[in-house]
Structure 1
Amino acid sequence: MKVSARNSLKGIVKTVTIGAVNAEISIEISDGVEITSIITKSSAEALGLKEGSEAYAVIKASDVILAID
């Protein structure tokens, strides 16, 4: 797999919640560290995502904004 995004984090799928249109997928990238993504239902099905399978969280963003109270 080659992608132009600089942040590609390999992990294990922890949860898959399929809705009518979208799916919520959580991937554990390190002990106790998870990333959650909302993708289309059809994409989740095409990728065959299921709990326990390996997957990559690929992050492509031009800005990361930080804030404090």
Structure 2
Amino acid sequence: MKISARNVLEGKIIEIKEGATTSHIVLDVKGLHLTASITNEAVEEMGLKAGQTASAVIKSSDVMIAVA
């Protein structure tokens, strides 16, 4: 598969937190934990499970953090 995103980080799924319609997938990338929100349907279709290798694909020009 070829994609245009340049930020692809491979890691291991360490947790899947299922909600009413959306799941949070926690991916361990070299000790850094990234969380992605995807639909429960996508989790099922992709067969995602804890312990599985997966990639975070980041396609964005900005990542912002703010504090009050």
Letter in 1 for 2:12: I
RMSD: 1.6
**What is the aligned length?**
68
- The unaligned stretches of length 5 or more in structure 2 are none
Matched, 1:52 2:38: no
- The equivalent residue for 1:15 is 15
Structure 2-normalised TM-score? 0.87
CA drift at 1:5: 0.5
Structure 1-normalised TM-score? 0.86
- The unaligned stretches of length 5 or more in structure 1 are none
Once the two structures are superposed, what CA deviation does each residue of 1:10-57 show, in whole Å capped at 9, x if it has no partner? Answer: 000000111110001000010x21101111111111111110001000
Question: Percent identity over the alignment?
Answer: 43
